[in-house]
Amino acid sequence: MAAIITVCRDDLRLPVVDPLEVRLYKNTASFASYGTKAWIFRNDVAHLAGTAEKNKMHINLAKTQHEPWASAIWVLAHEYGHNVENDLMTIRVHPRWFIEGFAEWVAATVVDALHWQSYALTIRRINVQLARHREFIPALSSLSDNRDWESFIRKPKGGVTAYTFAAAAVDRLIEKAGAASAIEYISSGDFESAFGESLAEFEIDVQKIGGEFERRQQREFLMRKPEWKIGDRWLYEETAPGRKTALTAQVAKEDSVRGRLVFVVKFGDGEELYDKDTLGFIATMKNGKLTTYRDEPNRMFEWPLQAAKEWKNTYRLRDFETKKTDVIDRTMVVANLEEITVPAGRFISAKIEAYNNESGRLMAEYWYAPGAKWSVKTINYGAENGFARLRELRSFKVDP
């Protein structure tokens, strides 16, 4: 919290909420009884990780304590954004989309200032998600009332759509008029004075967001499964919060695991196993022992790759070191044919997006290039700590 408050004070020039109370609730039942606002139904809080009221922040540990570090930072920064709003407000007439969008802006700028994830990358994820769910984007005015907002976020994909749309709207306001204007609006409640246009005019303008995120006209293309050979080699540079790492992947041999024929790829100090039929990621090994295993291959690519192709990518992931099993359920989408430049050169690539099948949240983006016989760029939004991890191809050597 000290880091969040410092960034908000020094970088964002927001007032310090003092005193600030952070109240932690061990389960959803206690959170429901003591940590929610009057207008939220007490028996309908399972989706909430936290709330803020005046100078109090309420955190539901049942939703946060087992999440990646990024989720905890984001929730705390988001709720502190609400505390700041409460501190600044003299009248409470602000639409809910602005209240939530401003809190998302605070969270995004805090993690950017802490060098955990760039603001540009956060906005990129927002834009891609809105493009995917553009048919569900509501009128901004329909997200103004508290009860309408709560009703919308319970719809399929509603949580992702509402928060990303609100964040995109506030991002547009701040880009046009500056953060000081947003602070002025929170303090005065006068939208036109703060931003130089009426709220009605802005709501009409912001509806263009749906059109801006329409996918580009796709050219027809077909990319077949590459033929891996022993010795094929790729050198990647991976950027994660606080570090850059060079990673070498090399096809070492063919083998079998649990009756499945696989390519064994030496990767760092371990090995990754890929199903020969699909090139789907099936397992990891270290010192000759399985460390993870998937009951079905993780099919980042479904051959042949074609424009607008979609497929389900569902499997159980068993981690033998933690003795934990997770169910991964994603929808994969071939979004575009793109020309992309990475350190290894310029490639024509198929851009694939991976979405959580339940929430609709964008989890990863992959760029596959036939010339390299594998991915040339990956953005993994669901990395171990919850912040995005970028991987780009630096060099490669493959048999044609």
Q: pTM of the entire structure?
A: 0.90
Q: Say if strands 243-257 and 21-25 run parallel, antiparallel, or are unpaired.
A: unpaired
Fold annotation for 2-212: Neutral Protease; domain 2 (1.10.390)
What average pLDDT does range 88-105 have in this prediction?
90
Q: Where in the chain is the domain with CATH 1.10.390.10?
A: 2-212
In terms of Cα–Cα distance, which of 44, 166, 198, 45 is closest to 95?
166
d(CA 299, CA 286): 22
Please report the beta strands in the chain, taking only residues with DSSP state E, as ranges in sequence order: 21-25, 50-53, 56-60, 222-223, 233-240, 243-257, 260-267, 270-275, 281-286, 289-298, 305-306, 310-319, 324-342, 345-356, 362-369, 374-380, 389-397
pLDDT tens sequence across 248-303: 999 999 999 999 999 999 998 899 999 999 999 999 999 989 999 999 999 999 99
Contact 325, 319 (CB under 8 A): yes
Query: 246 forms bridges with which residues in the sheet?
Result: 237
pLDDT tens sequence across 41-85: 555 666 788 889 889 999 999 888 777 777 889 999 999 999 999
> Residues with Cβ < 8 Å from 38, sequence gap 6 or more?
none
- Assess whether pLDDT exceeds 50 at residue 39: no
pLDDT of residue 210: 56
Tell me which of 2.40.360, 1.10.8, 3.40.50, 1.20.120 is the CATH number of domain 222-397.
2.40.360
Phi, psi of 46 (to 5 degrees): -60, -25
DSSP 8-state code for residue 145: S
Q: Is residue 30 classed exposed, middle or buried when 0-12, 13-18 and 19+ CB atoms within 10 A define those classes?
A: middle
Give the 3-state secondary structure of residue 67.
coil
Q: Where in the chain is the domain with CATH 2.40.360?
A: 222-397
pLDDT tens sequence across 116-137: 999 999 999 999 999 888 888 8
